[in-house]
Each structure stands twice: as structure tokens, then as C-alpha cells.
Structure 1
Amino acid sequence: MICNDGAYFLRHRLSVVTHLASLGVDVTVIAGGNQIPESRIEGWKYIHVPIERFRFDPFGDAALMIRTARTVRSFKPHAVHLVTLKPAIFSGFVSIISRLLHAFPERVLITLPGLGRMMSRPKARGERRYLVASALTLSAFRFLGRRDCVHFTFETRHDCNFWAEKGIANDKNSSLIDGAGVDPDLFHPPEQPRSGPPTKILFASRLLKAKGLSTFLMAARDLAHRSDVEFIVAGVPDDHDPDAIAHKELEQMPEIRFLGHVKDMPNLLRQCDVACLPTRYGEGIPRILIEAAATGLASIVSGHPGCREAVEDGVTGQILSATTDADMRRELTDAIVRYLERPSLLAAHKQAASRHFQSREFNQVAIADRFTKLLGVPPSPAQQRSSSTSN
């Protein structure tokens, strides 16, 4: 597996690797970003490679291709799993060339958890456009999509349709998988339902304006005079991201409680009432919304396609229809007040959210099993016995 960022890998893809390792599969992970601590590496190999996440970097991208080529030649893998755009393009080309020259890997699985900044249309005035880079990216994916050994996975029907309209994805070479999944043994509702006041509203994601953090902060200022609501922000500081809000700035805001990086997210969620994500970021199904549903939280979200996959409007939460920052701020504030003034509505949405999680294939074991099958890993002896018994 090759992923652009180690922290992202640990949050969203570790369960697949852990599942593969439990089946006796020899797994090697190549990831950029900060180095993964040795304490998190169990049953699989790890190679760190610097990967520039925010722009094309000729030397860094060439280094990624060289590292991919060396690793593929050394391990002769049956399958290569590429996660996010950069590994998909650069490591994807290397994998195809290796297959032509050496007949391995047999399968190349490309997971695109969202459109990202590059492929998304700007949703706010002044947002940067990547016309040349996106055109080159589409050309690269058309090349990859024509290979029989390549298979794509997406998280939303919207993304499937986007890549299909570009002539890249089709019913044979792509699959729709509901996010990365969460562990229901960790993320579950509290034994005793939480009762306020104050009603606790949580933003837990990357600390980016495009994720809706700036809108969340404005709503917190609008309602700072109320004692029956508390605004909480949790997320890993990433001041290198040009779209990030600096953690030092967040620490100085009196209208919110800033927690920074939270290790025990299940416990934090069980102490809150509403997950808020007014995002315009080009992502798939936001993991925090799945975690919130599993824990029995209502959600207030934007009309982003990934949010609509995780939230039922008027049933498990509220979906905002605004398209401008000013309208989003006003609509978000109104949605929060609606919960404050109608606690019975909030309680109903929280209960429905837990049922919604159980009705969908959001369980990380089911997700890991789907990826395992797409990678061509044969079932374990125990799974084979279970299958033959059921037949």
C-alpha cells in the first residue's frame, strides 16, 4: 500500500492492512508525511518516503517513483494498493511498467477517497484553480483506466459519476465502498444518554477553512452569548497546509474550547451531542460523520455529496443548503438554535443516527473484507470452512 500521508493512513487505512496481516499476507506500506511511530507498526513493513502533498514536486515525485520501483522489484507483490492522487499517478505508472516488464503486480487497486482540491470545482470566490494540473491528472488516469489490471474504488456515487463522465471509470473497473469504516466496539453510544445543558457541538477534522472550520468559528461567535451551548474544536495542527487555521490562533479564541489532537476520540464523542462539518472540501465520506453516527450523535453538515451519504436530512441530522459563506454561517447558526430550542428533536436525531449506522455497511471489518477481495487475497481457511458450512 502506498499513501501520501502517514497520519491519514493510520486514521483511515490501517484497518485494511491489519486485516490483511491477520490473514498471513505480507504487507509493506510506503507513506509520506511524518514518520509512523514504531509502536503503531505491527505485522507489516513500513518505508517512509517524503511526499509533497500540496503541489507537484519534480524531485520528490521522481523519488516516489524510484522508491516504488525498487520496492516492487524487491518484493514482487501480487497487488499494489494506491491511496490518493499522487501515489495513484506516479506509483501507478511504475506499477504498470513493472507489470509489462516482469508480470507483477497482477493487480493495481486505486482508492480515491475524494476529488481533493485539484479536481474539485472552486466553491468560493478566490479559491485556487488547478487547470493544467487537473488536465494532466485526467490524462494520467485515462491511461491507467484502460489497463485491465487496474481497479478503482470511490466513496460516493457523485465521485463515481465524475470519473465516469471523464471516460475513466465504468461498471467493470470501479467499485463503490462506504468510506474507511469504523470499529463499533470502540465507537458506540454511552450507556446512559448524555443530557445537557450545555449542548456540546463538536468540530473534529483537519483544521482547514475548506472543511468548514471558519464557518463553525463564526457560528460560535454568533452564539457566544448563550450559556446553553458549548463549541469544541479537535484536530491535528497542520500549519504547513496553506488552507489551515493556525492552532495558536484557535487556542486564543474564547468562544471555543480547542483540544488539539485527541487520542481517545470515542470518549470525546460520547461527551458531545452534535457533530458539525459544514465542509466544501473535495473529500469522500467524512470519517468523523460515520464515527458520530456510530456513537449516537446528530450531525449538522453541508450538502457535500459525502455528507449526504452519512447523514439523513431531518432524520439523523440537518443538511445545510447554503452555497455562500455568509448564507452558510446564517444557516448553521439557525440549525444549532433549532436543536437548542427543541431538545426532543435533538434526542430523536441522535437515536436515529445510531440506527442509521447499524443499517449501513460502515463497519470497518466489512470494509476491510471488501478491499481484501478486490486485492485478490484468497479467503482464510476459517472463512472457507464458514462458507462451505453455510452452503
Structure 2
Amino acid sequence: MDNKRKNILIACDSSHTLLEFRGKLIEELVKGNNVSVFTPKISRQQVKDKLESLNVTVYENKLNGSNVSIFSDLRYIVQLYQLIRDTKPDVFFPYTFKPVIYGTMVAKFCKTACITPMLTGLGYNFTDGGKKNWLVTAITKVLLKVSLRGNKGIRIIFQNRDDYKKLLKTGIIGQKQQAYVVNGSGVDLSHYDYSEPDTLNISFLMISRLINAKGIKEYYEAAKSVRHKYPDIKFKLIGAFDNNIDSIPLDLFSKILFDDTIEYIGQVDDVRPYIKNASIVVLPSYYGEGVPRCILEGMAMGRAVITCDSVGCRETIYNEPSGRNGFLVPVKNVTALVLKMEYYINNTTDIIRYGVNGRHFAKAKFDVDLVNADMLKIMDVV
């Protein structure tokens, strides 16, 4: 094993993920290596300050990860080529689709020794939602296949086994390629403290971008149905209205804003106070998640869960009766979602019991230190 300091370049499509999803990993990487990040412009000063305190070199770009723009993508490719050519990283770690596709292609061309692309979920491209934008989906699949194939230095990282099997089945990757599955991005159990949920004033909380595939409509309709029968039950929603090809319709957004079905909180910098004040965390997503971070945060803080039996989401539910931490419901099934919400309303002791089980499950499987230990091995920097 080579113990010299390595130059590590991280590429992402959203600056807020650098600390929220990769902060603990970056802290581990900088202990024995030189770390740089290639990121869209960082608007939050605390993110800049933290990266500076860690001696992370920051290179900014104008990539928009959510929208299709040939000009923007070409400019990104050129900038990344110049950066890799000039900095000559020993390890290149891109995550999310555009950095993975374009970055892996460029890093292969530049003969980077170790390339570790991480797919944090397959999103719309391998779900029914992709049919609405079939051309973009088709192009994405072709580019993904071209970028990931044909280089022994590529170590592909998945956050759930379903995504790995899907890319094998579709021929995007081959059996002989180096591929690894880690348990999501992990969750920092020291940051998300356990607290006992309120079972006297029951409230449900959803944390998500306001896009269709996250199940916003299903959450709204379930809330409306439950509140008709149990008017004192509260429903809350955290998340930004996303400028995305799958943004929820404006009429639904208007209902969320102006009727009293859901308390819309918007985007927040720290979800912990809101999880602490919630009884149950809900995510009826069929998006194609890696492992949804909001569910892990809820589990870490001792919250019972309802989520969908869909890729990534199903990873967060422990189904054995002795350690059950929540429920899986079929995708787009409002009736099933309502039934599980009513179960918690009528079985309040399970809100606490499932929450305790969730904390234990998070510690056993999703502890960020366990996940990062796997990541360091894959990146060959331990």
C-alpha cells in the first residue's frame, strides 16, 4: 500500500451536498491527502469557511445538474479537462449523474489512475418517470455506458444493490467491472441525537425537493384524507420548490402554500429541530433513490418511518417484527399510505418503539463512520 499523500479531486453537481452528504468523508480524506473539489458556485459562507478550515482547495463552475443545457455541459467538460490536466489527481471521485458521466470520460482520457464514480441513485432514468423525457433518458443511458466501461482503474460505487443489478441487466456495466455497494451516504449519529417523539400531539414530516417523483402529491392527498378524519393531526413539509423537469404542478404548489392541509416550511439549513418536533417521518418516493438521507436522519433521531417499496427507500426499513422501524407502502398508493398513517395514530406506543428500533438500525448499518471506512478502502487511501 502506498502511504504517500495523494491528490484527490471530488466533483459534484450541487455545492450544498459537499458538507451535508460528504462532510465527514472529506474530513477523513484530508487527514492524509490533498483534497480539491470541483463544484457549482458555493453561495453559503459557512460552507466556504468550513472547506477553507479543512485546507480543501475549491474550484467553482456554473454547472446546473438538474437542467439540460448542451452549452453549459460542454463548458463544464472543458473546464474539468483543464483542471484534471493541470492538477493530475491520483484519485478522482465524482458523484451524481453529470459529474459521473462527464468526469469519468475526461478522467479516463487524462489517464487518471484511480476513478471512483458514485451513483447516488438512478433518478428518473430507469423508472417510469423517465418516459416523459425519453430522449434525455436514452442519451443518459448511452453516455453512462460509454463513461463507465473499458478501464481497469474505474471502481464504480453504488448506494444500493438494486441499482447495481439494474446496470448489469441493461448492459451498461459488465460482470467483470469493479463495483462496490455501500450503505448510502451514511448518517452522523453524533450530530443527529435521539429524542423521544411526541405521541400526544402527533405530526408527520416529509423532507424533500418539491418534485413529483418524491411523492409530494401522494403526501398531500394522504394528509387531506387523514385530517378529514383526524383534524388535530399535523402534517409538515420541508423542501425547496425545485426548478426541475419534474417539478410539481403550480396548482398543487398553490394548495400546499395556501390551504391548511400541510404546513409548508420551505428550505431550511438544519432539519434537526423539525425532526425533533415530528412524530413520524414520511417519504413516499418512487424517484430512484440511492438511500434517502432524510429517512436516515429521521431514524438516527428515533423517528418511526413510512416510505415506499421502491429502489433505495426499501433499504431503510427493517421488516423483522423484533426490530421493525417502519412501513413500506406501494408507490403512488395513497390508500395504503393513509392506512399506515392511521396505524401510528391508533398505536402510539409503536411510534416510540419503532423509533428506538430505527436508531439501532441506523447505528448497525448506516453509521457514517462505517460507510466512510468502506469508501476509503475503495478509493485506496487508507
TM-score norm. by structure 1 comes to 0.86
Match of 1:307 among 298, 310, 313: 313
SS for the counterpart of 1:304 is coil
Q: What is the one-letter code of the residue matched to 1:2?
A: A
- Give 1:92's aligned amino acid: T
Shift of 1:280: 0.9
Return the letter of the residue paired with 1:32.
Answer: P
AA paired with 1:354? R
Instruction: Indicate which of 5, 8, 19 corresponds to 2:17.
Output: 8
Pair 1:236–1:151, CA change in 2 (3 A): same
Deviations 1:17-74 (A, max 9, x none): 22212x1321111123664532342321112212232444222111111111111122
Q: Whole-Å Cα distance in 1 between the matches of residues 41 and 224 of structure 2?
A: 34
- 2:164 aligns to what? 160
The aligned amino acid for 1:320 is V
Distance 1:280 1:144 in 2: 25
State how far apart, in whole Å, the 1-side matches of 2:60 and 2:244 are.
19
Distance 1:52 1:169 in 2: 30
Residue 277 (structure 1) aligned with residue 283 (structure 2) = yes
Kept after mapping to 1: 8 A contact 2:295/2:305: yes
CA offset digits 1:249-281 (Å, max 9, x no partner)? 533231211211222322321221111011110
Say whether the 8 Å CA contact 1:7–1:33 is kept in structure 2. Answer: no
Amino acid at match of 2:49: S
Q: 2:293 aligns with which of 287, 293, 312?
A: 287
Q: Which moved more, 1:30-39 or 1:71-80?
A: 30-39
The 1:241/1:197 distance shift into structure 2, 3 A limit, reads farther
What is aligned with 1:151? 155
Quote the residue 2:361 is aligned against: 356
Displaced runs of 4 or more, over 6 A: none
The amino acid that maps onto 1:266 is R
Letter in 2 for 1:329: V
Q: Judging changes above 3 Å, is the alpha-carbon distance between structure 1 residues 158 and 271 closer, same or farther for their aligned structure 2 residues? A: same
Counterpart residue type for residue 175 of structure 1: Y
Per the TM alignment, residue 172 of structure 1 is displaced from its structure 2 partner at its CA by 4.9
Question: Tell me, which stretches of 5 or more residues in structure 1 are unaligned?
Answer: 100-104, 380-391
- Which of residues 124, 132, 145 is equivalent to 1:141? 145
Could you tell me whether the CA contact under 8 Å between 2:288 and 2:311 is conserved in 1? Answer: no
1:51 aligned counterpart, secondary structure: coil
- Does residue 97 (structure 1) correspond to residue 100 (structure 2)? The answer is no
Deviation at 1:188, TM superposition (A): 2.3
Measure, in 2, the Cα distance between the counterparts of 1:344 and 1:87: 45
- Which residue number corresponds to residue 338 of structure 1? 343
Q: Distance in 1 between matches of 2:281 and 2:197?
A: 14
Deviation at 1:141, TM superposition (A): 2.2
Determine if the alignment matches structure 1 residue 122 to structure 2 residue 115.
no
Residues 280 and 133 (structure 1 numbering): CA distance in 2 closer, same or farther, change over 3 Å?
closer
Distance 1:293 1:154, change over 3 A: same
1:137 CA displacement:
2.8
In 1: Cα distance, 2:81 partner to 2:176 partner: 30
Q: CA deviation at 1:232?
A: 0.8
Unpaired segments of 5 or more residues in structure 2? 1-9
Q: 1:350: how far off?
A: 1.6
1:198 aligns with 2:201: yes
CA RMSD of the aligned region, Å?
2.3
Query: CA 1:156–1:136 in 2, change beyond 3 Å: closer, same or farther?
Result: closer
Distance 2:65 2:147 in 1: 22
The alpha carbon displacement at 1:80 in A equals 0.5
| 1:340 maps to amino acid | I
One-letter code aligned to 1:261: Q
Alignment-derived partner of residue 264 in structure 1:
270
Q: Measure, in 2, the Cα distance between the counterparts of 1:288 and 1:218.
A: 21
> Within the alignment, does 1:24 sit opposite 2:36 as a pair?
no
35-44 vs 73-82, which deviates more?
A: 35-44
8 A contact 1:145–1:173 mirrored in 2? no
**Partner Cα separation in structure 1 for residue 14 and residue 25 of structure 2:** 16
| Residue 110 (structure 1) aligned with residue 117 (structure 2) | yes
Which secondary structure does the structure 1 equivalent of 2:94 belong to? Answer: strand
Q: Distance in 2 between matches of 1:140 and 1:120?
A: 12
Q: Which moved more, 1:288-297 or 1:250-259?
A: 250-259
CA distance in 1, matches of 2:43, 2:167: 32
CA contact (8 A) 1:138 1:166 kept: no
171, 182, 186: which one aligns with 1:177: 182
CA contact (8 A) 1:122 1:129 kept: no
Matched, 1:219 2:222: yes
Deviates more, 1:306-315 or 1:240-249: 240-249
